[in-house]
Amino acid sequence: MISENIKTEADGKYISLLRILKPYMSRGDTDRLRKVYDQALERLGPGQADVLSQMLDVSYILAHEMGMGTNTVLAYMLTRLILSGSLDRNEALTLAGPVPLAIADGLLAIDRLNVRKISMESENFRKLLLAITPDIRSLLASMAENLYELRNYSKYEADIQNLILKKAAHVFIPFAHRLGLYHIKSQLEDLEMRYALPEIYQDIENQIARLKPLQENFFQEFIHPIRKALEEAQIPCEFKWRFKSIHSIYQKMKKQGVGLGQIYDLFAIRIIIQGNPADEKAECWKVYSIVSNIYTPDTSRLRDWVSVPRPSGYESLHTTVTMPGGRVVEVQIRTTRMDEIAEKGDAAHWRYKEAGRVSEMDLWLKEVRNILESRSDDQE
């Protein structure tokens, strides 16, 4: 049995997890979750505190960051307990029901693969993963586990670390890209690069830190005429800016064959339309028109995710403009509602899907599988 100190810490994590899941739970879900958690506390031994911690941390990633529901969370918890020898399949079925067990079976099938003897680099490996996971939520849970592993990279042995990096680079980053899980993809990419190319990663990170004060001054200069024009048009807006991810900057450096100082779109400026405009799309295009009247737009780089949102639910207009001095800047235009969805990541959109009616959920899972089976890995 787990010690009282470990239990106190675990209880805090469990309550946080329950708080995320609660609004989307169906009747009986709370009882199922509590029963599985209680079994973990009762059956895991003093030396298995790491099993409990990982079980709860990955479950939280699934619920909070990926928007998965109770069945997927239960499936991951069952998987950890079965692999630790604390639970068998019949007990798992009684505790949680057939759907979580089916998802857990996919996770167990992935665990049985001898990845040390299989090349993860090929599309065939990704096809194999899809073939052995009838319920696609098994792969989504495995993706969450890979993110957890990267966040806790230092605690693993060197050979395991190598497998963690390969899984991220060759399996879950391509899958996250195909699914439009851009928040998860960005984290996987940056963490994978941090450990695979530590010196390059650190160098770019240091350069960004030095550039930040200069970029803040440039940001204020850039938005000044835009802010004035929007005030005259009586369109209330908020302005933000951020650096691109380190992985994204490194890819641009490699592609263009230049140093960080020569990358023109190191950061993006965001214009957020305040309030609740009756026609969000029209308002976004109105702001685009005002920006384009001030700075010269590159129409070939216009991305309209307002008319056709990304699969993750992301909505925004992206344009690239040139200032009089020749500097090029990326501008993202969206409403407050769109920005909230973008900031929360993919979770809100996906949680709505898994919490829907069974027929809607089945259709969604089929759509997810179709996307993963495609070979569209153009990671623009």
Q: What is the DSSP string of 233-282?
A: TT--EEEEEEEPPHHHHHHHHHHHT--GGG-TTSEEEEEEE-S--SSHHH
DSSP string over 32-48: HHHHHHHHHHHHS-GGG
Cβ–Cβ contacts within 10 Å for residue 117, how many? 6
pLDDT at site 223: 94
Phi, psi of 99 (to 5 degrees): -70, -50
pLDDT at site 243: 85
pLDDT at site 380: 43
pLDDT at site 352: 57
Phi, psi of 329 (to 5 degrees): -135, 140
- Mean pLDDT of each 10-residue bin along the chain, 380 residues long: 88 96 91 96 91 97 91 97 95 96 96 84 86 92 97 96 95 86 90 97 94 88 96 95 90 91 83 90 96 96 91 85 89 91 63 63 76 60
Q: Which domains does the chain have, with CATH numbers?
A: 4-196 (1.10.3210.10), 200-343 (3.30.460.10)
Q: How far apart are CA 321 and CA 244, in angstroms?
A: 17
Whether the Cβ atoms of residue 245 and residue 190 lie closer than 8 Å to each other: yes
Q: What is the pTM of this model?
A: 0.84
Strand intervals (E) in 116-187: none
| Integer angstrom CA distances of residue 191 from 61, 228, 238, 370 | 15, 40, 30, 28
Calculate the CA dihedral of residues 215, 217, 223, 225 and round it to 10 degrees.
Answer: -140
**Angle of helix 182-196 versus helix 137-151 axis, rounded to 10:** 40
pLDDT at site 347: 59
The structure tokens 């963690």 sit at: 164
Q: How far apart are CA 330 and CA 323, in angstroms?
A: 11
Q: How far apart are CA 224 and CA 229, in angstroms?
A: 9
